[in-house]
Structure 1
Amino acid sequence: MSKTYLDLSAVGMRFKTDKGFFEALVDVNLKIAKGEFISLIGHSGCGKSTVLNLVAGLTEATSGGIILDGREVDGPGPERSVVFQNHALLPWLTVYQNVELAVRQVMKEASKKDVDEKVRYYLSLVQMDHALDKKPHEISGGMKQRVGIARALSLSPKVLLMDEPFGALDALTRAHLQDSVMEIQAELNNTVIMITHDVDEAVLLSDRIVMMTNGPAATIGEILHIDLPRPRDRVELADNPHYHHLRQQVLSFLYEKQSKVTRLKSSKHNQSSAVA
């Protein structure tokens, strides 16, 4: 593997609740190379979003630490931009203005011409340069998400964080956006961490799939290397035996191995309760 660019070391996360402390994550260790596309997958409540929030700097780990490009992550920053399931565009601004607002955060001293070129470049990357003057309510859900991706990319982030970015879209729009993300990542060589519940999406897009164990006290259960050559064509992969083998490995972890772990946890809990 290439030199580590993003390093999660012994990361743990506890939340204080009315009933005491809730252990969300324990001992999460993950080394990511520059330009890698990583998917986080697991059942609901396994801490995927917590990992993403920790890397984004929106939450501070209670143990361990995160290093990005030689510097500790200790808060939010434009070098880590997030694409949410909800596009979160400002409704009173046009498509152009939504991206321009982000660009000006990282190009405060730039000329109007330079800002304009950057805004148009990222909107063209997501094929939205035809809708510069439209407001969010005038475009479809898929188009809004494209603008959200353009806005995140326009910050020139070291790491792009995506929290189920296609989850609310119909199947066809989702497929088109997945293809666009693959093309963009190939062009920009962004380091990407994406949360998904979709096994096919994870195999199609990723270099590695990080499979999380069930919570509480979730951690990384397995990491699967996706050694399918790029560029990837979803139609060709439909008949690819190795693609189906990789897909089956993820499903096996999620529905067979995790069931055994859950039963074991339940058994231990019941034994503890009996002793008490």
Structure 2
Amino acid sequence: MANNSYLKLEQIGKSFSRGPATTEVLRDISMIINEGEYVSIIGHSGCGKSTLLNIIAGLTPVTTGGVILEEREVNSPGPERAVVFQNHSLLPWLTVYENVALAVNKVFAGKKSRAERHDWIEHNLQLVHMLHARDKRPAEISGGMKQRVGIARGLAMEPKILLLDEPFGALDALTRAHLQDSIMEIHMKLGNTMVMITHDVDEAIFLSDRVVMMTNGPAATIGEILDVKLQRPRRRLELVNNKAYTEARAAVLEFLYARHKAPTIAA
């Protein structure tokens, strides 16, 4: 991996205030994400995973600490950090092509000619196997296809980091598996840096180089980081009886459900 201090999270803390009450959501989050790495952040609901992703994206300001990308502090949104949300966020009145074009024209106006932008849009739709649906509107395609377009739009911005906020959470199991395979294929092909929020242990291990396990909130922090020692490409069926896979899965489950049980909701 080319740059061993590509993305640094330095002692990030985040608190939200409402009137006189202040809630500390994150405390002392520090880690380095390497260039080309796929990192998943996992933890129970309410542990601040999405808040952390929004901080990296520049959508939420830190209370303390900072985010450093290639030795420069980032504290506002920018095209070098594209976000794919669980809700695809496509504009319903635009076609698949036009939804991706919106991002491409914003980022590359003045940098690529109209013909180059057109080719780049089609290239990214081809990457997610959606070029055939380029003229359809969101209402005419399935949930999985919408999410593919959302991923294409993120990739088309040519970001340094692609941030994925539970990108497969709203999909059925089979569609989810197909999209996971596609994301892994894209990651291997492009070698880009990806940071993903997930609740799914198997998804985290299947896709990631490292799994970051968060403690429960409030004042959540990084509990453990697991190195996933599985060679790529990874084939789902071959992992079922793979010792490294089962050990990694057991380690994450033990952290989440033995040492950091899900918070109970008061009746």
Q: Same fold (TM over 0.5)?
A: yes
Q: 1:114 to 1:262 in 2, by over 3 A?
A: closer
Q: RMSD between aligned alpha carbons?
A: 1.4
Alignment partner of 2:94: what SS? Answer: coil
Q: Deviations over 1:147-205 (max 9, x none)?
A: 00000000000011000000000111000000000000111111111000000000000
Equivalent residues, number: 262
Q: What is the 5 A alignment of 1:4-83?
A: 4-83=5-84
Q: Does the 8 A contact of 2:229 with 2:244 survive in 1?
A: no
Q: Which residue of 1 aligns with 2:186?
A: 184
Unpaired runs of 5+ residues, structure 1, are: 264-276
1:184-241 deviation per Cα after TM superposition (whole angstroms, max 9, x unaligned): 0111111111000000000000000000000000000000000100000001001212
User: 1:157 maps to what in 2?
Assistant: 159
Paired residues of 2:80 and 2:158 also in contact (CA < 8 A) = yes
Q: Quick one: which of 226, 229, 238 aligns to 1:227?
A: 229
Partner of 1:250: 252
The CA deviation at 1:19 is 4.9
* 1:215 lines up with 2:255 in the alignment: no
- Identify the residue that residue 121 of structure 2 maps to in structure 1: 119
Rg larger in 1 or in 2? 1
- In terms of fraction of residues, the more helix-rich structure is 1
- For residues 114-153 of structure 1, the aligned pairs below 5 Å read 114-153=116-155
Q: Which secondary structure state, in structure 1, belongs to the residue aligned with residue 260 of structure 2?
A: helix
Counterparts of 1:206 and 1:7 in 2: how far apart (Å)? 18
Q: Distance in 2 between matches of 1:68 and 1:242?
A: 32
**TM-score if structure 1 supplies the norm length?**
0.93
- Offset of residue 18 of structure 1: 3.5
- Higher mean C-alpha deviation, range 95-104 or range 107-116: 107-116
Query: Quick one: percent identity of the two aligned structures?
Result: 60
SS in 2 for 1:201: helix
What is the deviation of 1:129? 0.5
C-alpha change, 1:14 and 1:166, in structure 2 (3 Å) is: same
Structure 1 runs (4+) greater than 3 angstroms displaced? none
State the distance in 2 between where 1:120 and 1:156 align: 14
SS in 1 for 2:6: strand
Q: Structure 2: 5+ residue runs without aligned partners? A: none
How many angstroms apart in 2 are the aligned matches of 1:166 and 1:156?
21
